[in-house]
């Protein structure tokens, strides 16, 4: 085959008092990189804690310039079907066809005005990949990050519908990181929600630190969210072929 493949597993654990280190979910991901530079991320995310449980299937594709082209989302919440949606990202607009028990069948078209950075899909592996939008030649710095996404919920646990989110992303620096999957040269980034661009009834999204491989693949290595979420994520398996 002409394409190359990266696959792995990310373990979700808790840092809440009384639950420190306990497994709360997991993510299985695969990146397919084609000879023309385009990529597709396939991710299965399982969140067991807190209730209700979340089971998310994602198929997300980007062109050779790392800009989104299409995304499919399917959600089971509390082991019940929440919804499924197909998003098509064009030059000047995003199309959405979505359906679910609480929303019925919905068609959306959202004009894209101005520059944006990508499409947020909620898998941890996708969070790591969008850090490629930072210009590390400027050294440690922070800038606004504009994305569209299928759910503003912090766990992505609402029916797939178009929304826009603005957060801040900081490049912190270079480190060497050891996780269960091995030792890697890494870049450290921090997502923050200083202006409440991703605020829900739980408040603004807490700061979210991530470490990704120091290469063009930007594979998630480890990271965690503070505040009310108190979660930790770590790469436990990795295969390249």
Digitized pLDDT (tens) for each residue of the chain, 241 residues in all: 799 999 999 999 999 998 898 999 999 999 999 999 999 999 999 999 888 999 999 999 999 999 999 999 999 999 999 999 999 999 999 999 999 999 999 999 999 999 999 998 999 999 999 999 999 999 999 999 999 999 988 888 999 999 998 999 999 999 999 999 999 999 999 999 887 766 666 677 889 999 999 999 999 999 999 888 889 999 999 999 9
241 vs 234: CA distance, rounded Å? 21
Dihedral (Cα; 152, 138, 181, 193), 10-degree rounding: -20
Residue with structure tokens 């923050």? 192
Pinpoint the alpha helices (H) of 3-134: 124-129
Strand partners, 225: 208, 231
pLDDT at residue 217, rounded to an integer: 96
Which residue range(s) make up the domain with 225?
A: 4-240
pLDDT at residue 202, rounded to an integer: 64
Residues in the chain, overall count: 241
Distances (CA, A) of 140 to 127, 136, 174, 187, 190: 19, 7, 9, 11, 11
CB 7 within 8 A of CB 29: yes
Domain count, the chain: 1
pLDDT at residue 152, rounded to an integer: 85
60 vs 85: CA distance, rounded Å? 12
CB 71 within 8 A of CB 62: no
CA end-to-end span of the chain: 11
Q: Is 138 helix (H, G, I), strand (E, B) or coil?
A: helix
170 vs 190: CA distance, rounded Å? 5
pLDDT at residue 197, rounded to an integer: 62
77 vs 51: CA distance, rounded Å? 9
pLDDT at residue 140, rounded to an integer: 97
pLDDT at residue 198, rounded to an integer: 67
CATH number, domain containing residue 67: 2.40.360
Strand partners, 144: 168
Taking the model in full, what pTM does it have?
0.94
């Amino acid at each position: 085959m002409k394409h190359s493949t990266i696959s792995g597993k990310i373990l979700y654990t808790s840092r809440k008092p009384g639950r420190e280190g306990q497994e709360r979910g997991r993510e299985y991901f695969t990146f397919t990189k084609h000879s023309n530079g385009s990529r597709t991320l396939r991710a299965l995310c399982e969140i067991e804690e807190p209730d209700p449980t979340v089971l998310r299937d994602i198929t997300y594709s980007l062109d050779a310039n790392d800009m989104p082209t299409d995304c499919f989302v399917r959600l089971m919440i509390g082991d019940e079907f929440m919804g499924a949606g197909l998003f098509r990202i064009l030059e000047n607009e995003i199309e959405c066809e979505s359906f679910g028990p609480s929303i019925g069948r919905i068609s959306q078209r959202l004009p894209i005005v101005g520059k944006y950075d990508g499409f947020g899909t909620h898998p941890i592996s996708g969070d790591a990949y969008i850090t490629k939008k930072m210009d590390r030649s400027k050294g440690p710095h922070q800038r606004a990050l504009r994305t569209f996404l299928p759910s503003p919920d912090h766990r992505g646990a609402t029916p797939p519908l178009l929304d826009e989110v603005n957060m801040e992303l900081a490049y912190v620096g270079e480190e060497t990181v050891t996780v269960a999957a091995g030792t890697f040269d890494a870049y450290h980034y921090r997502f923050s929600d200083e202006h409440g661009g991703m605020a829900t009834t739980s408040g603004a999204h807490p700061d979210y630190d991530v470490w990704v491989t120091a290469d063009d693949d930007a594979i998630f290595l480890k990271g965690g969210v503070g505040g009310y979420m108190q979660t930790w994520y770590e790469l436990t398996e990795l295969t390249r072929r």
